[in-house]
Structure 1
């Protein structure tokens, strides 16, 4: 088949590669001048099945209100549009325990499958990107440990590999952790990893091109037409190019692209921040990656750099940086790994817009419109979920049953939750 993939982030590139391996003629359309320029550019680097979970959970809104006016809050609310308010209302409705348990299980199932697929691609294709093994969640207080118990039970029931560690055991794994910072407990995921998402995406792009995939950069496309949904147009007056199938992987732009088809996909921009700097002293830097549970800030080792990511923000825009959010990243880095990075030199500060659905999991598979397929809404877990999502969608397009159950990951669940 002749297939168009819209978007050349890590989701679009993995999708294009999987389709090409199944013999399809694939063209990728990307509005930016290069691959992996938006959310895939500077994310946390953490690919953790255990930490892939919906925001919408019992007690979430109380948690948000508790932290809303704190200086170092993990979530900030900026100027909200009506669409943002609707999204928050839908998220609130998805916070009941039954919906959370179902969505958590769906994301965990996809994350485990995706982790396996990522390792397979990395090993078989020799994709030598910056990566390190293991990921640890740091719990500063006994209260945080208690709040973690429900999530640990879900992971334990799913057979996920993890260990609960004392502070001493955690520091044996990450010896550079600052001794003076309170640490009640840690959760260690030895099979998870930290990796450079953009490097991986660019390497896989090369592999896709070797299979015949054509990439069209600086090519924003028009929203899909209800009369000809499988035709890609560069301009309104353009007759367009016809395809046998179209896969929408365009991040936040996805909702606008499919709106003329009658699809109302509630994607919201949840902005996140990252700072990256060269390692100052390797012995003072993390060996792999850690997550500060209180502030929802990840500190990752990517080769000879340290990346600190966090600070979720709803509303506002990607171009305006919130000084307090960036300051929190510096503070958490200093709490755990003081002196690890050359923060006074050439710091890279980044803000990206993560496309998130109100209930948490992405949407994979058929759109209900013949020939139009969806692979979108991965939120903060895009790097974790990309490889599995791509393989499952490619298999579905090819008429093959995916190796993973896609129940709870399709478009139909949004209609059920209205």
Structure 2
């Protein structure tokens, strides 16, 4: 089949890979001048387990037995937030995330990511292991239901006291406010943008066409195709897969597909490695602040924050200060914060129940793989393989029940 993919973020690139692997003729159209320039640009880099990624679970924090594992700590309203953002937030707080489906998809995706990396010898600054830091005994107790749930789902979970955690992470400050920790030994992290760019380069050499600076303005079905800004004629394809992140809503709404999507903005600070022995070896999560600290090659990346508002809103000074304090609290001297820093405020295109839209639509020939939110990197390779199987009229290797676009 001749297939168009709209969007060259990590979702679009991995979808192109899987479809090309199945023998399809693939064209990827991207409005920016390079791959992975938006939500995939400087994210936390966390792969599975999915449910320890900050800001992934929809709904209110709840003390009830049904949802005691909730890690959502609040989404702030930034400059430019209006009625659309308020309506989305209202729906987010009343939704339920399909936890089992997403955790299973993340494990499958991690395996696919590692298999692709091994097959093509891709070096994307990967590291293994994740430490969850608890500042108090109460925090640790509040997290226990989630940890029990993860164990039942087959995730390796190791409880540690502060001394054992410092053996795993020798750079951890002796003065850090650490009560206890949990090690997830099989967790994986890596540089999402680097992975996407290396994969894109390899695919271009193998015949996949990437068209950059191409603004897709509308979709067509019967016949299936796309309109690109500045081009007089429609480009025809056998199928179109929308992987356009926050732009998906704009493309689909005129065709009657309404996705309750909003860009939830988060922050990252990428700093040069200062002293390797003082920097993290694993990916670390400050549970209280929902901040991650991860080494990616010769850099340390600190990520956190969640806000709704305009893409042009000013950086929130208080959130950035939290990121700086976190790395200084846990790994002082590991990152060079006084030199040039990459400070990024990026959108996580998030659907109201915290899960992506994956599969066919009511429009013939139009498919979706979008709305992954904070878990785009964690779910990318698995979502891409499942989408390719469905488009090829095969049952995916794992269940994607609850991720259908028609659920909205």
What TM-score does the superposition give when structure 1 sets the normalisation length?
Answer: 0.91
Q: Please name the residue that 1:247 is paired with.
A: 241
Say which of 141, 144, 157 aligns to 2:152: 157
Q: Please name the residue that 1:55 is paired with.
A: 57
Write out aligned runs for 1:328-347 (5 A): 328-347=322-341
CA distance in 2, matches of 1:410, 1:154: 24
Q: Please name the residue that 2:213 is paired with.
A: 218
* Structure 2 spans left out of the alignment, 5+ residues: 65-70
Deviations 1:270-303 (A, max 9, x none): 0011111111111111112101111111101011
Write out aligned runs for 1:63-74 (5 A): none
CA contact (8 A) 1:226 1:261 kept: no
CA distance in 1, matches of 2:283, 2:151: 21
Q: Please name the residue that 1:387 is paired with.
A: 381
CA distance in 2, matches of 1:259, 1:389: 23
Write out aligned runs for 1:53-202 (5 A): 54-59=56-61, 75-78=75-78, 79-94=80-95, 99-100=96-97, 103-202=98-197
Q: Name the SS for the 1:351 alignment partner.
A: strand
1:3 aligns with 2:3: yes
CA distance in 1, matches of 2:308, 2:83: 12
CA distance in 2, matches of 1:297, 1:55: 15
Q: Name the SS for the 1:26 alignment partner.
A: strand
Q: Name the SS for the 1:149 alignment partner.
A: helix
Q: Please name the residue that 1:286 is paired with.
A: 280
* Structure 1 spans left out of the alignment, 5+ residues: none
CA contact (8 A) 2:222 2:364 kept: no
Q: Name the SS for the 2:284 alignment partner.
A: strand
CA distance in 2, matches of 1:289, 1:206: 27
In the TM superposition, residue 93 of structure 1 has moved relative to its aligned partner by 1.7
Q: Do the aligned partners of residues 150 and 238 (structure 1) sit closer, same or farther apart at CA in structure 2, a change above 3 Å counting?
A: farther
Q: Do the aligned partners of residues 318 and 293 (structure 1) sit closer, same or farther apart at CA in structure 2, a change above 3 Å counting?
A: farther
1:372 aligns with 2:348: no
Say which of 343, 365, 383 aligns to 1:349: 343
Q: Please name the residue that 2:203 is paired with.
A: 208
Say which of 390, 396, 410 aligns to 2:390: 396
CA distance in 2, matches of 1:267, 1:57: 15
CA contact (8 A) 1:9 1:36 kept: yes
CA contact (8 A) 1:21 1:211 kept: no
Say which of 238, 261, 265 aligns to 1:267: 261
| Aligned length, in residue pairs | 400
Q: Name the SS for the 2:93 alignment partner.
A: helix
Q: Please name the residue that 2:29 is paired with.
A: 29
CA distance in 1, matches of 2:94, 2:276: 46
1:13 aligns with 2:13: yes
CA distance in 1, matches of 2:59, 2:231: 46
CA distance in 2, matches of 1:368, 1:161: 40
CA RMSD of aligned residues (A): 2.1
Q: Name the SS for the 2:34 alignment partner.
A: coil
What TM-score does the superposition give when structure 2 sets the normalisation length?
Answer: 0.93
In the TM superposition, residue 373 of structure 1 has moved relative to its aligned partner by 0.5
